[in-house]
Amino acid sequence: MQALGYTRPRDVASAVAMATADPRAAYLAGGTTLVDLLLKDAVIEPGRLIDIGRLPLRGISICGDALMVGALTTMAELADDPTVRERLPLVRQALLAGASPQLRNVATIGGNLLQRTRCRYFRDLAVLSCNKRTPGSGCAAVSGTARMHAILGASEYCIAVHASDLCVSLAALDASVESAGVGGQRITPMTDFYVLPGDRPDTENVLAHGELITAVHIPLPPSGTRSGYLKVRDRASYEFALASRPRRC
């Protein structure tokens, strides 16, 4: 196992400064994705982990006509929130359709939005052709088994899909992502947050290195609005989507 540096910053500004200054730094929150990518699959090799788990970025509140969700709020906490149960069944269903109860108890909202693809070619180091893992190496999935890959929004360089069920529901609700970087805070619409693969599939979102998701803003639909999340998958539990669709009326 590789040697890793470990730091626990006291505040958001310190975390951002530490991560920005170190090109090999990675944030550690719930750790559910990091365990797979670092310890199990060895796909990533950060030199330093910056533990943000104790930063004051956890909690759910109503701010005007939107729900403000701290980035360190867990999937389980958001699914169980009374406002989500009553006003955002689409979000609740998407959360409960993802992962297992054990993972939902520790996986954070920010981490869920930043999880990496489940593409078997990306996660298997024996596969040398993966533009997402090694830019310019090719895409083995294009000519390989592609049943769980993208139908829309792909390119000749990558056909992997993002694994989050939650982000589908948030995009349908016109949610936005609040983040902190060296230049200060900014808010990005969810529909602009992810980047299509193009010729650089290793760039997956608009965040700069070291920029940290601090919250998610979810507009609350009018009372009485009905919504739901439809997920088609190979088995009923703990499986990633073959296709998914939000519904709202």
Kindly report the average pLDDT of the chain as a whole number.
Answer: 95
In this predicted structure, what is the pLDDT of residue 117? 95
Is the pLDDT at 92 greater than 80, yes or no?
Answer: yes
Nearest partner of 111 among 242, 8, 207, 247, judged by Cα? 207
Distance CA 134, CA 155 (A): 16
- Please tell me whether residue 177 adopts helix, strand or coil conformation: strand
Is the pLDDT at 1 greater than 60, yes or no?
Answer: no
The residue type found at 40 is K
Q: Do residues 203 and 195 touch, judged by C-beta distance below 8 A?
A: yes
Q: Do residues 197 and 152 touch, judged by C-beta distance below 8 A?
A: no
* CATH fit for domain 57-115+162-248, picks 1.10.730.10, 3.40.50.620, 3.30.465.10, 3.30.1490.100: 3.30.465.10
Residue 216, H or E segment: strand 212-219
Distance CA 117, CA 24 (A): 20
Is the pLDDT at 25 greater than 80, yes or no?
Answer: yes
